[in-house]
Structure 1
């Protein structure tokens, strides 16, 4: 799945700037923003969190 920050922001109802700051590690997501992002990705929050945990464990996975 390839998304732009702008597209994800639109689908998640979050600004592209905030998405960028999250990606750069300059902001920590709130539970509300995680819910919005998972919704924008059309995923359950639990599945989204599993993907994040896998990426942390194996950085070259995604």
Structure 2
């Protein structure tokens, strides 16, 4: 698999979208998620907007807080990346 120059931006964007979708689907605020995951609320906001890349520890903490298994998150992230890579996808 060859990495593209802007692949980390795309990965961060996809992760942020998945994180926001999971959080809103569970009906919890950024503040509650940040408390449960042990991070600052502003960091959740930065993650959701694709401006930061989380550490592996943070990803596992987010999974616990969202009551989702790591492999489920990985599958959702892969699906989101495929969606974003679809030429017919309307980039925002």
TM-score after normalising by structure 1: 0.80
1:38 Cα deviation (Å)?
0.5
The CA RMSD over aligned residues, in Å, is: 1.6
Task: State whether structure 2 residue 82 is matched by structure 1 residue 57.
Answer: yes
Could you tell me which runs of 5 or more consecutive residues in structure 2 were left unpaired when the two chains were aligned: 1-24
Distance 1:3 1:57 in 2: 27
- The answer as to whether partners of 1:14 and 1:36 remain within 8 angstroms in 2 is no
- The answer as to whether partners of 1:9 and 1:19 remain within 8 angstroms in 2 is yes
Q: Which has the higher contact order (CA 8 A, sep 6+)?
A: 2
Structure 1 counterpart of 2:52 = 27
Distance 1:56 1:16 in 2: 25
Could you tell me which runs of 5 or more consecutive residues in structure 1 were left unpaired when the two chains were aligned: none
1:3 Cα deviation (Å)?
2.5
After TM superposition, where is structure 1 displaced by more than 4 Å over at least 4 residues in a row?
none
Distance 2:31 2:77 in 1: 20
How many equivalent residue pairs?
A: 60
TM-score after normalising by structure 2: 0.57
